[in-house]
C-alpha cells in the first residue's frame, strides 16, 4: 500500500489509538494522559495538513476495505471532506487544551478523554467517509461515542438529557440506515461523486427515490437539529462545557449538516433534486428553523440554553444554503460550516469560562463581567458579533453569500428570513454584550474561584481556559478578514462548489 | 467426516468419563473442549475444501440408515458451539462467582455439547427427536443446578419440553405413516401439499417453536434462563435455543412442499415481529437484570424467526445468510451479556437492574462488555448484528410490496435500543452508586468482553463471511 491510501486511515487512527490507550490509564496518570491527548491532536493536525497539501496538488487519498456486498468501507479525502476534517482537527486541539484545564482535579478523566477521542475519531471518519454505507456507520458510532460525554456528570439531569439524546439520535440513525439500504438495493453504494451518483437512474422510480430522500433527511436532520427534530440539543446543555463546545460547533450538529450536504450534492445531485422537486420543502423547513431557533433563543434566561437555540438557528443556515441549489448559496452554506464552528466554539468556551470562574450561568448575572474578565468578554463579543453578521467577522461572509445566492436562484423571500434572523440575533446577543461591558459590576464577585491570578487580563482565569477562547476568536476574525485570499475556507468552499456544479 | 464425528464423540465420552470416574474436574473439560474445537475447525476446513460429506451409521442402505451429514453450515455451527462451550467452561472454572465449580455442571455441559453436535449433524426426523430429548434433559438438569429456587422453573421447562417433544413426535409419526421415510433428503423428493402433510408439518413446527421459545410459546424461557447459574444461562441462550431453530430451518427449506412453505411463512414472520415487540417490551419493564437479558433472547429470536418466515414465503435463499448471521451474532452477544450480567449481579449482591447505578465507575470492564454486546443486539454498525440486519433489510427494501415488513425491523431496533440503554444509562448514574460487595473479578470481566469484541470483529471478515454463508447454505 502506498502512503496516499493509508493517510485517511491514519487521520482516523491518530485520535482512536490515543483514545483507547487513555481508557487503560489510572486517574492519577495525568502527565501521560495529557501527553497522549496532545500528541494525538498535534499529529492529526499535521496529517490533515499533509492531506490538504496533497489534495491542493491533485493527489488522491483513498482507503478501502471490503465490508458488505457492493458496499466497501471507503475513507477518502476530497475537497469537501477536508473542509470538515480540518475544522475538526483544529477545534479538537483547542478543545482538548480547554478540557484539560476545565476538568483539572475532576473525577473520571480517563473515561472522559477516552470517549472524547473516540468522538473525534468518529467525526473525522464521518467526514472522510467515501460512500453512504461508511457515512452511516460513522454516524452511528458518533452517537455511541458522544452519549457517555453527555451523561458524563452522572446527575439526574444529565441522565435525562442522555436518554433524550439517544432517543433522537438512535431513531434518526435507524431512519438514515433504512434510507441507505433502500438506495443500496437500487444501485449499490458507489463512491460519493460531485453531481450525485443517482443521476444515472433518473426517472427510474420516483417513489423510491423520494422515500429514500425523506428517510435520509429525517435521519441526518436529527443531528443537524432541523425543526421538529431539534429537541435533544437544548437539553444536552447539561454536559460539561468542552462537550457542549464540541457537540455544537464540530462533532454532532455538523455531522448532521454534513450528511445533508453529502446527500443533496453527492448522492442525489443538483439535477435530480430539481427534477424531483425535493429541495423546496427542505428550504422552507430550514428557513422556519432559522427563525424558530432565534425566537426561542430570545426567551431563554440561561446563557448556555440561549446559545443552544442559537445553534439550532445557525446550523440551519447551512441547510438553507445547500437547499437553495445555486452555486453562490452553496458557497455560503459550506463556508458557514466552518464559520459557525469557529464562532460557536468561542461562545461556548467563554460561557464555560464565566461558569467555571465566577459561577455565572444566568444571563442576568453577566452584569459587569467584562471588567472582571475583559479578554474572555472580548472573545465572546467577537463570536456574538460574528453570529449577528457584523463585518469583518466570519459570519458576515456566510450571510453575504447566502443572500447573493438566494437572489441568484430567484428566492428573494430568503433575504427577508436572513434579515429577520439577523435582527433577532442582534436582539438576543446585544443585551449580553451590553450587560457584560456596561452593566454595573458587583463590588465583589460572590463565587470567584480565583483561577489564574484572579485579576483582569491574562490571569483572569486558568490559562488553559482562556487561550483556546482567544485563539478561536482570533481565527474567526482572521478567516473573515482574509476571506478573499487563497488560503481561506471561503476559497476552499468555492473550489468544492465549482466541482459540485461543474463550473 | 472423521473430524466431525470426533467433535461429536469427544464431549460425549468426556461426559461419560467424568460420571464413571466420579470426577468434576473443570480443567479436564477445558482440555477436551479445546480438542473438540480443534476437531470442529478441522471439519470446517475439510468441508470447505472438499464439499459436503455424509456417513451412514452401520453401513445400512438408504431408507434404513441413520445418516450423518456434514454441510458447510453444520461445520460452522460445530465450531461456534465449541467456541462458546470453551469460553463458558473457562468462565465456570475461573470465576469466583460461578457457583458451578465442583458440581454436575461439567458432565452435563459436555452432554449438552455432544447432543447439540449430534443435532447439527443429523438429518432425519427421528434422530432429531432423540437429540432434542437429550438436549432438553441436559438443559433442564443444568437449570436445576441453581438449587431449590430453580426447581420450579426447571420443572416447568421439563414438562413443556417433554410436551413439545411429544407434539413433534406426533408430527414425525404422521410423516412416517404417509411417506414411510424419515430422512430429510428422501422426504424432500416425495412430499406433497396434502392435508396430512400439512398437519404433520404444523405439529412439528409447533413442537419446535415451543422448544426454541419462539413467540408465542416462549413463556418458559425467561424464568428458566434467569434462574439458572450464570454459566448455564449463557449456554442456554447462546446455543440451546438455536438447536430447534436449526431443525425448523432444515424442515421448511428442504423437506416441506413449496406451497406449504409459502403459505406458512407469513405466520412465522408475524410471530417473529410479535416476539421482537412483546419480548422487547417485557425486557423494558422487568426489574430484574437476568430477566431482562432473557427477554431480550425472546425478542432477538424474533429476528431469526422473521428471517425464516420470509425466507419460506418469498423462497429467497439469500435470507439464509441473514438467519445464520443472526444466530451467530446473537449467540456471541448473548454469551457476553449473560456472563457480564452474572458478574455484575454477583459482585453487587443484588439482582435488580436498579442496583447497576454507577457501575461504569466500579466495574467498567463488565459494564462495557454489556454495552458492547448490547450494541450488536441493537444492530449498530459495524457489529455482527448489524450485518445480519442489513442482509434482512436488503430484500425487504428491494421491492416496494415488501416494505411493510420494514416497520417490524424499525420498531425492533428501537425497542432493543430501549432495553440496552436502560441499563447502560443507569450505569452512568453517579448520584448514589451501589458499592460492590466484593472486589471485581477482572479476569471474568474480560472473559465476558471477549465474545462481544468477536461479534464486532466480524466486521473485519464480513465480506468473505457473507459470501461463504450465501454460498454455503444449500
What is the DSSP code (8-state) at residue B353? G
How many angstroms separate the CA of residue B429 from the nearest CA in chain A? 4
Tell me the residue range of the domain where A377 lies. 277-443+459-502
Contact of B351 with B410, CB cutoff 8 Å: no
B426 to chain A: which residues are within 8 Å by CB? 159
pLDDT of res. B472: 61
Coil, strand, or helix at residue B318?
coil
| B380: nearest CA partner in chain A | A140
pLDDT band at A202 (very low <50, low <70, confident <90, very high): low
A251 Cβ contact list (under 8 Å, min separation 6): A88, A119, A120, A122, A123, A142, A146
Q: How far is CA B460 from the centre of its chain?
A: 23
Chain B interface, mutation test: which of A110, A147, A162, A178, most B Cβ atoms within 10 Å?
A178
Is A5 a residue whose pLDDT tops 70?
Answer: yes
Instruction: Please check whether residue A90 lies inside any domain of the structure.
Output: no
Instruction: For residue B39, name the pLDDT band (cuts at 50, 70, 90).
Output: very high
What pLDDT is recorded for position A201? Answer: 65
Biggest CA–CA distance in chain B, Å, is 71
CA–CA gap between residue A478 and residue B21 (Å, rounded): 82
Fill in the DSSP letter of residue B433. Answer: P
Q: Which of B374, B386, B397, B422 to mutate to test the interface with A (most CBs of A within 10 A)?
A: B397
Residue B84: predicted pLDDT = 95
Question: DSSP string of B200-267?
Answer: HHHHHHHHHHHHTT-TTS-TTHHHHHHHS-HHHHHHIIIIITHHHHHHHHHIIIIIS-HHHHHHHHHH
Say yes or no for a CB contact (<8 Å) between A170 and B414: yes
Closest B-chain CA to A151: B428
Interface test with A, best of B385, B428, B442, B471 (most A CBs within 10 A): B428
For residues A498-502, give the mean pLDDT.
Answer: 80
Output Rg (C-alpha) for chain B, integer angstroms.
21
Note whether residue A479 is domain-resident: yes
Between B394, B406, B417, which is nearest A184 by CB?
A: B394
Cβ distance B315 to B394 under 8 Å?
no
Cβ neighbours around B354 below 10 Å, total: 11
Domain-embedded: residue A196: no
Mean per-residue pLDDT of chain B: 90
Mean pLDDT value across residues A256-267: 92
What's the pTM value of the predicted model, to 2 decimals? Answer: 0.93
Q: How far is A499 from chain B (nearest CA, A)?
A: 31
- Nine cell digits for residue A100: 484539560
Which pLDDT does position B474 carry in this prediction? 46
Task: Report pLDDT digits (tens) over A184-196.
Answer: 988 888 888 888 8
Residue B287, φ and ψ in degrees, nearest 5: -85, -5
pLDDT at res. A217: 93
Cα-to-chain-centroid distance, residue A69: 32
B463 to A170: CB separation less than 8 angstroms, yes or no: no
**Which residues of chain A have a Cβ shorter than 8 Å from any chain B Cβ?**
66-69, 73, 108, 111, 136-137, 140-141, 144, 147-148, 151-156, 158-159, 162-163, 166, 170-171, 173-175, 177-178, 181-182, 184-185, 207-208
Among A72, A88, A82, A74, CA closest to A14: A88
Segment B174-193, tens digit of pLDDT: 999 999 888 888 888 888 88
Average pLDDT over residues B192-211: 92
CB of B398 less than 8 A from some CB of A: yes
Which residue in the set A140, A185, A207 is minimally distant from B394, CB to CB?
A185
Residue A228, preceding peptide bond in cis (omega within 30° of 0):
yes
Cα A346 from Cα A466, distance rounded (Å): 10
pLDDT in tens, B40-83: 999 999 988 888 888 887 777 766 777 888 988 999 999 999 99
* Domain tally, chain A: 1
Could you tell me the CA-to-CA distances from A231 to A173, B19, B191, B370 in Å, in that order? 16, 62, 58, 28
3-class DSSP state of A205: coil
Report the SS3 class of residue A188. coil
Cβ separation of B390 and A185 shorter than 8 Å? no
Tens of pLDDT, residues B262-287? 999 999 999 999 999 999 999 999 99
Q: How many Cβ atoms from other residues are within 10 Å of residue B195's Cβ?
A: 8
Q: What end-to-end distance do the CA atoms of chain A give, in Å?
A: 34
Residue A333 phi, psi (nearest 5)? -65, -50
- Binned at pLDDT 50, 70 and 90, residue B432 comes out as confident
Q: Which residue has the higher pLDDT, A485 or A145?
A: A145
pLDDT tens per residue, range B375-394: 999 988 889 999 999 999 98
In this structure, what C-alpha cell is assigned to residue A236? 444536552
Cβ–Cβ gap A170/B378 under 8 Å? yes
In a domain, A320, yes or no: yes
Percentage of chain A exceeding pLDDT 90: 35
Element (H, E) at A145: helix A132-150
The answer, yes or no, to whether residue A396 has pLDDT greater than 80, is yes
Measured between alpha carbons, how far is B172 from B240 in angstroms, rounded to an integer?
21
Rounded to 10°, the helix B105-121/B242-250 angle is 10
Tell how strand B66-70 and strand A71-77 pair up.
unpaired
pLDDT tens by residue, B345-367: 888 888 898 888 888 888 889 99
Cβ of A166 and B382 within 8 Å?
Answer: no
Residues B287-311 have a mean pLDDT of 93
pLDDT at residue A438 is higher than 60: yes
Name A77's bridge partners: A61
Q: How far apart are CA A141 and CA A118, in angstroms?
A: 9
Amino acid at each position: 500500500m502506498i502512503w496516499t491510501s493509508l493517510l485517511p486511515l491514519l487521520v482516523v487512527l491518530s485520535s482512536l489509538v490515543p483514545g483507547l490507550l487513555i481508557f487503560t490509564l489510572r486517574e492519577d496518570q495525568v502527565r501521560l494522559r495529557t501527553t497522549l491527548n496532545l500528541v494525538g491532536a498535534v499529529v492529526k493536525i499535521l496529517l490533515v495538513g499533509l492531506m490538504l497539501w496533497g489534495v491542493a496538488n491533485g493527489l488522491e487519498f483513498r482507503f478501502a476495505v471490503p465490508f458488505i456486498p457492493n458496499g466497501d468501507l471507503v475513507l477518502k479525502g476530497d475537497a469537501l471532506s477536508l473542509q470538515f476534517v480540518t475544522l475538526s482537527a483544529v477545534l479538537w486541539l483547542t478543545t482538548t487544551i480547554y478540557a484539560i484545564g476545565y476538568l483539572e482535579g475532576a473525577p473520571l478523566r480517563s473515561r472522559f478523554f477516552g470517549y472524547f477521542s473516540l468522538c473525534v475519531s468518529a467525526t473525522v471518519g464521518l467526514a472522510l467517509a467515501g460512500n453512504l454505507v461508511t457515512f452511516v456507520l460513522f454516524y452511528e458510532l458518533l452517537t455511541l461515542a458522544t452519549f457517555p460525554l453527555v451523561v458524563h456528570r452522572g446527575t439526574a439531569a444529565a441522565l435525562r438529557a442522555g436518554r433524550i439524546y439517544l432517543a433522537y439520535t438512535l431513531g434518526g440513525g435507524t431512519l438514515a440506515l433504512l434510507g441507505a439500504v433502500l438506495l443500496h438495493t437500487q444501485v449499490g453504494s458507489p463512491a460519493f461523486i460531485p453531481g450525485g451518483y443517482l443521476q444515472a437512474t433518473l426517472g427510474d422510480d420516483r417513489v423510491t427515490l423520494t422515500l429514500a430522500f425523506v428517510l435520509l433527511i429525517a435521519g441526518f436532520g436529527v443531528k443537524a437539529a432541523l425543526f421538529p427534530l431539534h429537541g435533544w440539543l437544548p437539553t444536552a446543555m447539561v454536559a460539561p462545557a468542552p462537550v457542549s463546545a464540541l457537540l455544537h460547533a464540530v462533532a454532532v450538529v455538523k455531522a448532521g449538516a454534513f450528511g445533508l450536504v453529502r446527500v443533496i450534492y453527492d448522492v442525489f445531485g443538483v439535477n435530480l433534486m430539481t427534477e424531483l422537486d425535493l429541495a423546496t420543502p427542505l428550504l422552507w423547513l430550514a428557513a422556519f428553523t432559522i427563525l424558530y431557533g432565534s425566537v426561542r433563543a430570545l426567551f431563554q434566561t440561561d446563557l448556555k440554553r440561549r446559545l443552544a437555540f442559537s445553534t439550532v438557528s445557525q446550523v440551519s443556515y447551512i441547510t438553507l444554503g445547500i437547499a437553495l441549489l445555486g452555486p453562490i448559496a452553496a458557497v455560503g452554506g459550506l463556508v458557514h460550516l466552518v464559520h459557525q464552528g469557529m464562532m460557536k466554539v468561542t461562545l461556548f468556551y467563554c460561557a464555560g469560562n464565566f461558569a467555571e470562574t465566577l459561577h455565572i450561568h444566568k444571563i442576568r448575572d453577566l452584569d459587569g463581567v467584562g471588567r472582571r474578565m475583559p479578554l474572555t468578554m472580548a472573545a465572546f463579543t467577537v463570536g456574538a458579533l460574528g453570529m449577528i453578521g457584523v463585518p469583518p467577522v466570519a459570519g458576515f461572509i456566510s450571510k453575504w453569500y447566502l443572500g447573493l445566492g438566494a437572489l441568484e436562484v430567484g428566492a428573494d423571500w430568503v433575504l427577508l428570513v436572513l434579515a429577520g434572523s439577523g435582527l433577532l440575533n442582534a436582539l438576543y446577543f446585544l443585551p449580553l454584550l451590553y450587560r457584560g461591558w456596561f452593566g454595573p459590576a458587583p463590588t465583589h464577585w460572590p463565587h470567584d474561584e480565583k483561577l489564574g491570578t484572579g485579576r483582569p487580563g491574562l490571569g483572569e482565569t486558568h490559562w488553559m481556559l482562556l487561550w483556546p477562547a482567544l485563539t478561536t476568536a482570533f481565527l474567526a476574525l482572521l478567516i473573515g478578514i482574509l476571506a478573499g485570499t487563497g488560503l481561506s475556507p471561503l476559497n476552499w468552499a468555492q473550489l468544492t462548489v465549482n466541482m459540485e456544479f461543474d463550473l | 467426516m472423521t473430524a466431525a464425528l470426533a467433535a461429536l464423540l469427544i464431549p460425549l465420552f468426556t461426559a461419560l468419563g467424568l460420571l464413571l470416574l466420579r470426577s468434576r474436574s473443570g480443567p479436564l473439560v477445558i482440555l477436551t473442549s479445546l480438542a473438540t474445537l480443534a476437531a470442529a475447525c478441522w471439519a470446517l476446513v475439510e468441508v470447505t475444501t472438499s464439499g459436503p460429506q455424509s456417513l451412514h451409521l452401520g453401513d445400512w442402505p438408504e431408507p434404513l440408515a441413520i445418516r450423518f451429514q456434514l454441510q458447510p453450515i453444520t461445520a460452522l455451527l460445530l465450531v461456534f458451539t465449541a467456541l462458546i462451550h470453551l469460553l463458558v467452561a473457562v468462565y465456570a472454572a475461573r470465576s469466583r462467582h460461578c457457583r458451578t465449580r465442583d458440581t454436575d455442571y461439567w458432565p452435563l455441559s459436555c452432554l449438552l455439547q455432544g447432543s447439540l453436535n449430534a443435532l447439527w449433524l443429523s438429518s432425519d426426523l427421528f434422530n432429531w427427536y432423540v437429540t432434542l430429548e437429550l438436549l432438553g434433559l441436559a438443559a433442564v438438569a443444568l437449570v436445576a443446578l441453581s438449587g431449590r429456587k430453580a426447581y420450579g422453573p426447571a420443572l416447568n421447562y421439563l414438562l413443556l419440553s417433554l410436551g413439545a417433544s411429544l407434539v413433534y413426535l406426533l408430527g414425525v409419526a404422521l410423516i412416517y405413516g404417509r411417506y414411510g421415510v424419515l430422512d430429510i433428503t428422501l422426504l424432500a423428493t416425495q412430499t406433497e401439499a396434502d392435508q396430512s402433510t400439512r398437519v404433520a408439518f404444523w405439529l412439528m413446527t409447533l413442537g419446535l417453536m415451543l422448544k426454541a421459545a419462539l413467540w408465542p410459546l416462549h413463556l418458559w424461557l425467561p424464568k428458566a434462563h434467569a434462574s439458572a447459574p450464570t454459566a448455564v444461562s449463557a449456554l442456554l441462550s447462546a446455543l440451546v435455543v438455536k438447536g430447534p431453530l436449526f431443525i425448523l430451518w432444515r424442515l421448511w427449506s428442504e423437506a416441506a412442499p413449496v406451497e406449504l412453505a409459502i403459505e406458512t411463512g407469513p405466520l412465522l414472520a408475524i410471530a417473529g415481529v410479535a416476539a421482537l415487540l412483546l419480548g422487547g417490551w417485557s425486557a423494558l419493564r422487568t426489574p430484574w437484570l437476568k430477566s431482562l437479558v432473557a427477554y431480550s433472547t425472546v425478542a432477538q429470536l424474533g429476528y431469526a424467526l422473521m428471517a425464516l418466515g420470509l425466507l419460506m414465503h418469498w423462497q429467497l435463499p439469500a435470507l439464509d445468510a441473514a438467519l445464520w448471521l443472526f444466530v451467530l451474532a446473537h449467540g456471541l452477544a448473548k454469551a457476553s451479556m449473560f456472563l457480564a450480567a452474572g458478574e455484575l449481579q454477583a459482585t453487587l449482591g443484588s439482582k435488580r437492574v436498579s442496583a447497576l447505578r454507577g457501575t461504569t465507575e466500579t466495574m467498567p470492564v463488565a459494564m462495557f462488555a454489556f454495552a458492547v454486546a448490547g450494541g450488536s443486539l441493537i444492530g449498530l454498525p459495524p457489529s455482527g448484528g448489524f450485518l445480519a440486519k442489513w442482509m434482512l433489510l436488503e430484500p425487504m427494501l428491494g421491492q416496494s410490496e415488501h416494505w411493510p415488513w420494514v416497520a417490524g425491523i424499525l420498531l425492533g431496533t428501537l425497542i432493543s435500543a430501549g432495553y440496552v440503554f436502560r441499563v447502560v444509562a443507569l450505569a452512568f448514574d453517579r448520584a448514589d452508586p451501589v458499592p460492590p460487595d466484593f472486589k471485581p473479578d477482572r479476569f471474568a470481566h474480560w472473559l465476558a468482553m471477549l465474545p462481544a469484541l468477536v461479534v464486532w470483529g466480524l466486521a473485519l471478515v464480513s465480506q468473505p463471511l457473507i459470501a461463504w454463508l450465501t454460498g454455503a447454505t444449500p
